[in-house]
Amino acid sequence: MVGLPGAGKTTRAAELAAAHPALRLTPDHWMVPLFEDSMADGKRWVLEGRLISLALQALRLGTSVVLDYGLWGRDERSALRWLARSAGAACRTVYLPVDKDVQLARIADRQATTPDRTFPMSEADVDAWREQFQAPDAAELNSGEIPPPPPGWPGWPEWAADHWPSCTES
C-alpha cells in the first residue's frame, strides 16, 4: 500500500486481505498501543523491519501478504519489491492518491472518533509530508523492472537492513 495518511490505505488493505486471504501487517496498529507514538524515537523503523521479516517468512510459506505501510519513497518500494521477488513472490504496488482537503477531513475525523488509534497531525505536517512523498511511476505500478539501489549500496538487502534495522531476509 502506498499513500499518505488519510488516503484510505488501511481500509483498502483490509479489503485486499479479505479478498485474497492474506496476512495484513499494519505498523500503526502496533506503534500507538506499544509506544503511544507513531514514530517513538525511531522504533517505527525497527517494528517495520520485524514485520517485513515476518512478511517474507509468510511469502516463502505461500501466504499472501498486504503491507499496510505508507511507503513514501521509491527506494523503500524498490527494496520491498526486490525482497518479495527474492522470496519467490509476485509483488503489486497499490497507490491511493488523496486530495489534500479530503486528507485533512479524514485525519480530523480519525482524531475525533478514534484518538486512541492515531496521533496528532497538523496541516503543517500534512504539507511537509506531501512535499516529501514520491508518487510511484508507471513501472512501479505495473510491477516493472526494479532499479538498482542508490549509489553506495551493493544491493537492496543491504539498503533494507540499514533502513529497517531489524529487517532480515531469513
For the stretch 130-167, pLDDT in tens is 999 999 999 899 988 999 999 999 999 999 999 998 88
Q: Which CATH number fits domain 9-163: 3.40.190.10, 1.10.1660.10, 3.40.50.720, 3.40.50.300?
A: 3.40.50.300
Cβ neighbors of 2 (< 8 A, separation 6 or more) are 9, 70, 71, 72, 77, 93, 94, 95, 96, 136
Mean pLDDT of the chain: 92
Least confident residue range of 9-18, 28-37, 82-91? 28-37
At 41, is the pLDDT very low, low, confident or very high (cuts 50, 70, 90)? Answer: confident
At 89, is the pLDDT very low, low, confident or very high (cuts 50, 70, 90)? Answer: very high
Measured between alpha carbons, how far is 159 from 151 in angstroms, rounded to an integer?
Answer: 10
For residues 161 and 131, the answer to whether their CB atoms sit within 8 Å is no
Q: Answer whether residue 38 shows pLDDT above 70.
A: no
Q: Higher pLDDT residue, 44 or 151?
A: 151
**pLDDT value of position 120:** 83
**pLDDT value of position 36:** 76
Domain boundaries, the chain: 9-163
